[in-house]
Structure 1
Amino acid sequence: MGDLLVRHRVPLSFFSGKIVAVDAFNTLYQFLSIIRLPDGRPLTGPDGYVTSHLVGLFYRLVNFLELKIKPVFVFDGEPPVFKKKAIEERKRIKVEFEQKYREALKAGDIALAFRRSVMTAKVTPRIVKEAKKLLDLMGVPYIDAPSEAEAQAAWMVKEGVAYSVASQDYDSLLFGAPRLVLNFAVASRKYYPKRGLVEELEPELVNLDEVLKKHRLTLEQLIDIALLVGTDYNKGVKGVGIVKAVKIIKTYGNIEKAYKAYGWKLDPALFEIKKFYLNPPVKKVYDFEWRSVDEKGVVEFLVERGFNKERVEKHLKRLKKGKSLLDFT
């Protein structure tokens, strides 16, 4: 669906003073995928546990708070039943790449090992717990969504609780998010494991209304297009890419009429998926609290996990001691 988007490059400072609903799992996966040693191993602390997520999260939070951006991290809850196949497929792919990673290491091909390691990233309960602990210490609020984080974040923007969703996943637009920011960082990189390429990225703001007006679509039609191509919840129609899907929906108006016209067998689950996009379960929370950074707590927490004390303190000084997000208006 990315080809349909109208993207506006903006500096991270554009979001100063704004509340941004951050897709937490999506963000953690980014850190766990790219923050690795040259041979593909993730960073670890003295106890041998992974710390790549904490490295990424700490420095990104410092950048946000220094610019007076007000992030709210949104964590996934229980996935819908029709996401089960996608989750199982992701697990299968991770197992496959873990084997390929070991093979590359054994062969001494470090570059190949790194490329394959990127596909093995896992967000474990411990990683989630540590991320939430660091958010608490940094004074940044978070919320556990009842189901999909993108749906919760989209609702927050629709209700005016937040200005934009921040994610690399386009699903928040299908959930009706008026705005989505991609590459939400000062300096961000996207890694393409199959090609071994790293692309330097800048924040890009996408406005849903602008996308719909440009392509003369409704939100329901945009969802239908996504369903034809394939989403986290369905495989899509074989041989139908984004260009063909747009043409089909514009011609027939909706997915049901399109299926009938082409003689395709219509899976009733598609209606459930579409209904989920249009009316997902969310928590109706309107107020969040940002607190002062617990500098001592942050230092102790990170140093225990192998961080350099002086480096942590140096970055915390950027926030100016005693500075609080409560000063925001």
Structure 2
Amino acid sequence: MGVALRDILADYKIPVTAEELTGVAAVDAFNALYQFLSIIRQPDGTPLMDDEGRVTSHLSGIFFRTANLLQQGIRPVFVFDGAPPEMKTNTIQERRNIREESKEKWDKAKREGDLSGAFRYAMSSSALDSHVISSARTLIGLMGLPVVEAPSEGEAQAAYMALKGDVDYVVSQDYDTLLFGTPVLIRNLTISGKRRIHGRQVTIQPERVNLVEVLQNLDITREQLIDIAILTGTDFNPGIRGIGAKTGLKKVKSGDFDAIIRDKLPDFDPDPIRDFFKNPPVTDSYSTQSSPVDRDGLLSFLCEEYGFSPDRVIPVLDKIAKKEKQKTLESWF
């Protein structure tokens, strides 16, 4: 879900090209996997599957999209979520309920021949199970890219890595990453290009959000941005009905945050949420170093185990190998 800060951040989302994003990117892995599972589907919403009925939409997304990023000089580091905090329990259950309800609506739409409705409901039914997560990790490793295991929220770990300077920016669709302190958030990177949305084709372009620019232009601190998020709702609290981002901004800047909480939510203590965003569980036990692509391993994994077409996979591997060779030659000069 993330936080509903779009209305106050719209003016600070700057379109960028791939050429401007050359460097090391910490990718919120769960966020990217949800995107691939949601978007890469057949017209009736059915995900891509192998002959055994195992979902492969996420593998297609990781392999082909990551190969494109590597070609553009962007080196991803995939950060996976760890154990969620107890404060997130209600949100997790709500998301589970939404998925189950969407699955029922998807099945009904398919029976009725409503393809557009079926696809829409199918997108909301996407779930990350153990197969999706483990197979994603395997594929990323075979591509020679680092996997970082966060102790808790992946966005928090990614932001920490950006703050340390170990990565150049964080890739996620959710604005939570800004609350965790990432200096630069890049949205739409893993889904950029032409997409069909609500029955029409649109072009989605990567966009950059710079935290310092946001805070300076809104004339607030990061702590105040967190308070705005708490008023509108986060993954750890439902927020206050009727308060959106713009109203939240006004209330926080006028110093009314505490009074609103006492009046509307007298039994709610915002301090644990504030502290979690400012001091989340993170680890220094990670590496951002890549390794050579395991060409034979990828062919075996994708083509032999999951039934991908060698005619599609091999040309991509050739492009990656060419890029790796080019980088090796450049390192000599």
TM-score w.r.t. length of structure 1: 0.93
Q: 1:268 to 1:287 in 2, by over 3 A?
A: same
Tell me if 1:96 matches 2:98. no
| Residue of structure 1 in register with 2:320 after alignment | 319
Give the superposition deviation at 1:60: 1.1
| Residue of structure 2 in register with 1:108 after alignment | 113
1:146-225, aligned counterparts within 5 Å? 146-185=151-190, 187-188=192-193, 195=198, 199-225=202-228
d(CA) in 2 for partners of 1:186, 1:277: 27
User: Secondary structure in 1 aligned to 2:203?
Assistant: strand
> Contact 1:115–1:196 (CA<8 Å) still a contact in 2?
no
| Residue of structure 1 in register with 2:48 after alignment | 43
Give the superposition deviation at 1:198: 5.7
Give the superposition deviation at 1:210: 0.2
AA at the equivalent of 1:85? N
1:1-40, aligned counterparts within 5 Å? 1-5=5-9, 6-16=12-22, 18-40=23-45
> Contact 1:94–1:120 (CA<8 Å) still a contact in 2?
yes
Give the superposition deviation at 1:196: 5.2
| Residue of structure 2 in register with 1:256 after alignment | 258
Deviations 1:212-243 (A, max 9, x none): 00110000000000000011111101111111
Total equivalences in the alignment: 323
Give the superposition deviation at 1:288: 2.3
Deviations 1:277-319 (A, max 9, x none): 0000001146422011111111111112121002100111112
Q: 1:44 to 1:109 in 2, by over 3 A?
A: same
Give the superposition deviation at 1:204: 0.6
User: Secondary structure in 2 aligned to 1:74?
Assistant: strand
Give the fraction of aligned pairs with identical amino acids, expressed as a percent: 41
TM-score w.r.t. length of structure 2: 0.92
d(CA) in 1 for partners of 2:281, 2:326: 30
RMSD: 2.0
User: Secondary structure in 2 aligned to 1:319?
Assistant: helix
Q: 1:36 to 1:138 in 2, by over 3 A?
A: same
Specify every segment of 5 or more residues in structure 2 that has no aligned partner in the other structure, as ranges: none
Tell me if 1:272 matches 2:272. yes
> Contact 1:291–1:325 (CA<8 Å) still a contact in 2?
no
| Residue of structure 2 in register with 1:57 after alignment | 62
d(CA) in 1 for partners of 2:145, 2:224: 36
> Contact 1:12–1:186 (CA<8 Å) still a contact in 2?
no
Specify every segment of 5 or more residues in structure 1 that has no aligned partner in the other structure, as ranges: none
User: Secondary structure in 2 aligned to 1:21?
Assistant: strand
| Residue of structure 2 in register with 1:238 after alignment | 241
Q: 1:267 to 1:317 in 2, by over 3 A?
A: farther
Give the superposition deviation at 1:321: 4.6
